[in-house]
Structure 1
């Protein structure tokens, strides 16, 4: 099945797709969403619209038949920032006709350019989980115009092309931090104004992190590391182990053995997916858990120190202040004063 869209934002796309599939859209504030008809598959497609031509297009489905969404050429070509969270999908520009596979945890930043269209190809029988930021750069110009002159040249070039005249095609792995931000966006349980505000802030945070990732890869050689899917899965296993065993001492060597990687590959995987070494990631998780325990438990600082696998209270105080700007005791006092 092929669907042709002449659209400038995610709401336009979802309305065209829903009409083609002959299904009903549910509206909730600035969100539109519909479930797939049973004969097409299961799951949902959603759009969220913000100001300044910024929107989100989310596909979370299992298809019974192949679906191709063609984004037709337009007077203004949007910038698409697509994050693939599950099975591979494909993308192609009309001029080349060659499909480019986008694997799990890969991000495609693209714009069709003048007099060209592009297509997203979704296979049947595999879980599809695609999260896309869509930016109409003509409308977005007023959002960034005060900052453009101070931007990195690569970002300036990207946003100054307000009509999307030049084709843009860039693919790289995105960080697991971005993956978590997307899950927070998708699983928000707030309502009304608070939900709309949360989603907009989270969408901009995702965009910011990806632009940082893009610049790091463009400007530094370490960002060009390629990972196989099997390696990505083993790094994710290592993350699960770390998060479930923060109370214990975790060595890089033992962690690498548990997930079936050598230490260098594990370190490279963390650098690529998190921009952190393994030990930096472990410390980050410990401090985040400590902050959560201060906010949501009755444990004292000494108990929290041991709970997160740090043996020295003075060291805990030092690294906590470096990260959050206050000592654990100061933060505990702030939390309790606010609560009272």
Structure 2
């Protein structure tokens, strides 16, 4: 048996408290907790036609949330929690919304929906809404928006597949929800920059993510890859093999190689070499050591090989760096 929560019991109250869709500038939180579950809604209005909402919910029994829409809006929706179902109440048509999927679309005044949430499964969605004029300016001349894959089309709603949520989007979404830890004045600058980056990234992901097969990383994979990176940094002189690194980072070797490249835009050993050389350059510029000592400290046994790749990396030899160190000659990594 589902617990049914009507629109006037919940969403209407939220919209009233936030004066939505004409919500005040800045960030606002709405929390609710009763015997059926708990949820939190964080809402942010930029003031220039873009609004962001973060909804996280835990229900103690299967729950249906009713929503009656009273305004027109264009949206991006990211489901980063568990699978949920959305029903067009006017047509009794139910649509499955899988995890780690982004949709874009339009919802008009008069749309009525029921959202189905399963008990003891955390639901997390991020929504970005756009004023009509701004959305048209962004999409009018973009051919990608003329060939979208429709997920559902009703009388008052049009939902399209945008892309599987990729690594950069996940990182941006995570950075956005952590903005509450910042000072208020910094929040606006930080959050708005991340929102704009997310919008740009998402609209530009439409074509690429629908035309080619992507390698997707979940939150656990990303944590393991950051752990692998840290292991390399801590073992710069004697780095583990790929097999050893995958074991220590608790990720299989295939995901380690492919995921590392996708997340950090370099290979495992490409990162290691760059980090070693930057450390060596720092030692030569500011330390009282010779070239042989510097190369050995970062894990190179052959001075000639070290000098060769150092020159390829920085366009200057270790000997030149050492000679110019007294005049603080520096080359950016």
Bin of the TM-score, shorter chain as denominator length: 0.5 to 0.7
Q: Which residue of 2 aligns with 1:4?
A: 7
> Larger Rg: 1 or 2?
2
TM-score by length of 1: 0.62
Pairing 1:199–2:195 present: no
Q: Is the 8 A contact 1:242 1:250 kept in 2?
A: no
Q: Is the 8 A contact 2:25 2:47 kept in 1?
A: no
Q: Which residue of 2 aligns with 1:154?
A: 144
1:203 positional shift: 0.9
TM-score by length of 2: 0.63
- Count of aligned residue pairs for this structure pair: 283
Q: Which residue of 1 aligns with 2:268?
A: 279
- More strand, by proportion: 2
Question: Tell me, what secondary structure is at the counterpart of 1:87?
Answer: coil
Q: Which residue of 1 aligns with 2:178?
A: 187
Q: Which residue of 1 aligns with 2:94?
A: 98
CA distance, structure 1, for counterparts of residue 64 and residue 314 of structure 2:
49
Matches within 5 A, 1:8-23: 16-18=12-14
| Superposition misfits of 4+ residues, deviation over 6 angstroms | 284-287
Q: 2:227 aligns with which of 226, 241, 244?
A: 241
RMSD (Å), alpha carbons: 4.7
CA distance, structure 1, for counterparts of residue 219 and residue 173 of structure 2:
18
Structure 2 segments unaligned to the other structure (5+ residues): 149-154, 301-305, 316-328
1:214 positional shift: 2.4
CA distance, structure 2, for counterparts of residue 69 and residue 42 of structure 1:
13
CA distance, structure 2, for counterparts of residue 301 and residue 133 of structure 1:
50
Higher mean C-alpha deviation, range 35-44 or range 195-204: 35-44
1:129-167, CA deviations, whole angstroms, 9 ceiling, x for partnerless residues? 32222223334445x38xx53x4x114777xxxxx9872
Pairing 1:329–2:321 present: no
Pairing 1:177–2:168 present: yes
Distance 1:58 1:233, change over 3 A: closer
Distance 1:34 1:309, change over 3 A: farther
Q: Which residue of 2 aligns with 1:109?
A: 103
Matches within 5 A, 1:42-121: 42-72=38-68, 76-84=72-80, 86-94=81-89, 95=91, 97-103=93-99, 106-111=100-105, 117-121=112-116
